[in-house]
Structure 1
C-alpha cells in the first residue's frame, strides 16, 4: 500500500497533530506524516514533533511583508518535503484564494463546531449563548471562504447544564482526536471523494449511532 505524504500545519500545541501522528503509526494507515510546519517558531507542537523524529519547520508569518510571500515560503517547504496532502490542525492563519487553489482538494481542516453553525472563533461561547443542546466538530476541505468547505466528517457531544466554554472545548477536543485521523484516512485512501461540491464516502459506515440531548428516556 502506497501511503500519501501528509504535512500538518499548526500554530500552537498541536494536539490534533499528535492524534494524526499516533494514528499514522499503524501499518495499515493510508497516510504518513512527513512534516509539521508552524507559523509560530515557539509553537509547542514543533518541539513535540522533533522529539518524534519528524521534520519540523517554522515559517514565521511575521517575517514576510505580505500574505502571499508567507504562503510562497510555506508552499516551498511543503514541496521540499514531498507533501501530497495538507492537514490543518489549529493553524491560525487564513489562506489566500491563491494558496487554496494550489492545494484544492488536497487540504483539510478541523473546526470545533458542527458546521455550517459557528464558523470562525469563540465557537463554544456562542453555542452556549444560543442554548443549543448538541455541539461538535467538523473535518472539511479548505476553500477560499472561511470554514465553508465540503464536509468530510463530523462528531457530536451533548451540552451539559452548567457547562463553560472551557469544559465544552475539552469534551469536543476528545472527539476531534477521533474523527480527524478517521477523516484523513478516508481522504488519503480515496474513500472520501469530492463530487459536485460535496463529499461522497465510498466505504461501509455505521449509520445507526445516535445522540439525544437531554436524553431522559
Structure 2
C-alpha cells in the first residue's frame, strides 16, 4: 500500500519515494496532456515528436526542480547550463505554445511537491479546453480537406467543376487561385466539407471524369501522421 505521508517531505530535502511520486505524476499528467492535444487537434497533421515532448518535458522539469531544491547556487548553475543550449524550433501555432507552458508548469508543480496544484491545474486546463472546443468560440467553417487542381482559363470549365462540388460537398470555399502555363491555365485550391453520403474517393473520381481537370490532389484533414 502506498504511504502518502512521504509526500509531506520538504522541497529542500526530498526523499527517494517522494521523488519517484513526482516523476510518476509528471509522466501521467504529461500523457493526459498529450491525449488532450490529439483529441482537440484540428490541423492536417501533428508532429509525433511534439507529442513525445509533451510527455517528457514535465519529467525533465521535475528532475531539474528536484536537483535544484532551494539551493540558489544550483539554480544559477542550471541557468548557466541551459544558456549553452540553442532552441531554434519555431512554434507556428499559439495553441502549441500553451501546451508547452502547461507541460512546463506540470513539471514545476510536481518538482516542488505541489501535487494537488499539479492535478487540479491539469484538470482545469483539460476542462477549459474541452469547453472551448464545444462553445461558440470554436464555431466556424470546418473543412474535411484541401482540393487542388488546374483548369484551362474558361468560366465554363470552372462551372462544371463547381457543379461536381455542389453534388459531393456540403460546403466548399475557394482558397487560392494562380496562373499556370503563362496564363493559359489556372490552378485552384478549394477547402471542402464533404456530404455524409460522399467520400474523398468519390469526389476525386467525379472530378477525374472531367477531361479539362489536371493535377488533381486532395489533402485529407483526417490525416494525422506527419511525413
Q: TM-score range, shorter-chain basis?
A: under 0.3
TM-score, normalization by structure 2: 0.22
Bigger relative CO (Cα 8 Å, ≥ 6 apart): 2
Give the TM-score, by structure 1 length. Answer: 0.23
Question: More strand by proportion, 1 or 2?
Answer: 1
More helix, by proportion: 2
